[in-house]
């Protein structure tokens, strides 16, 4: 039995006339009659009661009609699902993002725009370190990553979404706060204890901060480590040291700390949109286009 047999049967059942059904289907009447007879033989049941004057559904035909309609409706639904999935309108998109991404205005806007444009796509967002983003993209468990710069394997490609200044964060009563409203240089922090991510945490900022400090002539003394930005800034507010983070974290508005822009060359941090070079997902392509759109 083929789907066309069901369509032929439904057409005859709705018209109750082989000639009109054949015309609606765009075929001649003899082949239609032959296909209905073949269907009845395969089922072992008479679907129509035929006389010289009329065609009527048998009891078996009436019950079969209900099921045939359900089958074709499900087939049409399945075909629609496949088409929409191919267009990126259905399915699940897994996006890994570094903790600072939601604090940059363009990322939440891109997520909102994607949800508005593709409401039937489940957007699975997972916060992780930049190194974890790289690892998940490589093993195929994630389609899109939003991260801070790290060395990337050849299998991945990155687009810079934005670049923002780095800021020194200190207790609001720290001696360096007064008179530095226009910013300060990294060298001013040379004698300060630092609160920062562990080297093993996989943060894309770690190497950059170490590099800035060395360019300023010192190696930062990291006396406290924490894996969460809120904890790092909280420890700074508690007087345990200073830290350097992207300016977008100023939106956290934590009491007891002051933010000062770093004036050194290269004292900025990028946010990358990363995916596999061979990524075929239409959903991933649509998300990347929205996220990288520059009005």
Q: Kindly list the averaged pLDDT for each block of 10 residues, start to end, along the chain of length 295.
A: 88 89 90 89 90 86 91 83 68 87 78 86 89 94 93 94 94 96 96 93 84 96 92 96 94 91 95 92 87 76
Phi, psi (deg, nearest 5) at residue 293: -65, 130
Looking at residue 90, its pLDDT comes to 60
Q: 21 lies in which domain range?
A: 3-86
Looking at residue 72, its pLDDT comes to 87
- Give the CATH number of the domain where residue 178 resides: 3.40.190.10
Q: For residues 71 and 84, give the distance between their C-alpha atoms in angstroms, rounded to a whole number.
A: 20
Determine contact, residues 262/184, Cβ cutoff 8 Å.
yes
Do residues 264 and 274 both lie within one domain?
no
Do residues 195 and 73 both lie within one domain?
no
Which residues have C-beta within 8 Å of that of residue 186, sequence separation ≥ 6? 168, 212, 213, 215, 216, 244, 262, 264, 267
Cα-based distances in Å from 92 to 122, 126, 152, 235: 5, 13, 25, 38
Looking at residue 224, its pLDDT comes to 95
Looking at residue 238, its pLDDT comes to 96
Q: What pTM was computed for the model?
A: 0.68
Domain end point (choices 86, 120, 140): 86
Do residues 168 and 252 both lie within one domain?
yes
Phi, psi (deg, nearest 5) at residue 180: -115, 25
User: How far, rounded to the nearest angstrom, does the alpha carbon of residue 239 sit from its chain's CA centroid?
Assistant: 39
Do residues 117 and 62 both lie within one domain?
no
Do residues 82 and 96 both lie within one domain?
no
Do residues 139 and 116 both lie within one domain?
yes
Token couple for 38: 């073949």
Do residues 105 and 71 both lie within one domain?
no
Looking at residue 107, its pLDDT comes to 83
| 200: Cα within 13 Å, side-chain hemisphere | 1
Do residues 155 and 170 both lie within one domain?
no
Looking at residue 89, its pLDDT comes to 63
Number of independent structural domains in the chain: 3
Looking at residue 185, its pLDDT comes to 97
Do residues 153 and 277 both lie within one domain?
yes
Crossing angle of helices 59-86/3-15, nearest 10°? 130
Do residues 149 and 15 both lie within one domain?
no
């Amino acid at each position: 039995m083929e789907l066309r047999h069901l369509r032929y049967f439904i057409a005859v059942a709705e018209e109750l006339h082989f000639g009109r059904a054949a015309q609606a289907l765009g075929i001649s009447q003899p082949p239609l009659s032959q296909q209905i007879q073949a269907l009845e033989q395969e089922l072992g049941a008479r679907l129509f009661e035929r006389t010289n004057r009329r065609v009527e559904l048998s009891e078996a035909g009436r019950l079969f009609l209900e099921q045939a309609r359900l089958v074709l409706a499900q087939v049409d639904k399945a075909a629609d699902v496949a088409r929409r999935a191919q267009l990126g309108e259905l399915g699940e998109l897994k996006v890994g993002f570094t903790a600072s991404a939601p604090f940059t205005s363009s990322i939440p806007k891109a997520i909102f725009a994607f949800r508005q444009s593709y409401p039937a796509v489940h957007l699975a967002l997972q916060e992780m370190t930049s190194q974890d983003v790289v690892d998940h993209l490589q093993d195929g468990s994630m389609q899109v990553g939003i991260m801070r710069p790290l060395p990337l394997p050849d299998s991945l490609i990155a687009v810079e979404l934005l670049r923002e200044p780095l800021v020194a964060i200190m207790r609001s009563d720290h001696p360096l706060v007064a008179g530095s409203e226009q910013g300060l240089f990294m060298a001013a922090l040379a004698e300060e204890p630092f609160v920062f991510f562990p080297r093993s945490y996989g943060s894309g900022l770690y190497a950059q901060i170490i590099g800035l400090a060395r360019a300023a002539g010192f190696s930062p003394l990291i006396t406290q480590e924490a894996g969460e930005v809120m904890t790092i800034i909280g420890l700074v507010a508690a007087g345990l040291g200073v830290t350097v983070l992207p300016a977008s974290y100023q939106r956290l508005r934590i009491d007891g700390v002051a933010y000062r822009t770093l004036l050194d060359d290269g004292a900025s941090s990028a946010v990358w949109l990363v995916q596999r070079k061979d990524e075929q997902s239409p959903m991933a392509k649509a998300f990347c286009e929205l996220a990288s759109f520059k009005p």
